[in-house]
Amino acid sequence: MIPSRTRCVGQRGSTLLLVLGILVIFALILGILASILLTDLRASRRRANEHYAVELARSGVDWARAWLMERGQLPASRLTVKGGEIDVHVEELPSGGRRIVSVGRVVEGEARVAAQREIAVLASRADGDARRGPDLSATP
């Protein structure tokens, strides 16, 4: 009776080691998959922030064009929107046109995580067309 009992205990121990080995392998696989998932999540968040910065910069150009059409002159200001900010500056060109420089920044807390610059040139009309008003069509 003693020999069969020893053999049974030995089988239980080997089964336990096999199960523990399989669990360790699963844990390693799950760790690798979690690492890959986090890397992809960071990359997609970075791409989304860069895309949002582009949209903010384009919005700044559109805002400046609308403001110039309405009032003729742009106030120097920073626009604050949800999740970001937009700096817009207008420069007078020697040709009589204007250059709009808009910088869109994505902000998370105190950190600026992405930024994009958009530049548009507003051409001036020739002297013969001055009676129609300024040409505010933008060319990037």
| pLDDT, tens only, 4-39 | 555 555 566 788 899 999 999 999 999 999 999 999
Q: What is the largest CA-CA distance in the chain?
A: 116
pLDDT recorded at residue 77: 75
Report which of residues 138 and 70 the model is more confident about: 70
The number of folded domains in the chain is: 1
Tell me the pLDDT tens digit for each residue of 113-138.
899 999 999 887 654 444 444 555 55
Determine the average pLDDT of the residues in 43-50.
Answer: 94
Residue 35, domain extent: 2-139
Report which of residues 140 and 59 the model is more confident about: 59
How many angstroms separate the Cα of 54 from the Cα of each of 104, 109, 111, 136, 140?
7, 19, 17, 21, 13
CA distance 140 to 124: 15
> What stretches of the chain show up as alpha helix (H) in DSSP?
2-71
Banded model confidence at residue 41, pLDDT cuts 50, 70, 90: very high
In the three-class reduction of DSSP (H, G, I as helix; E, B as strand; rest coil), residue 122 is classed as strand
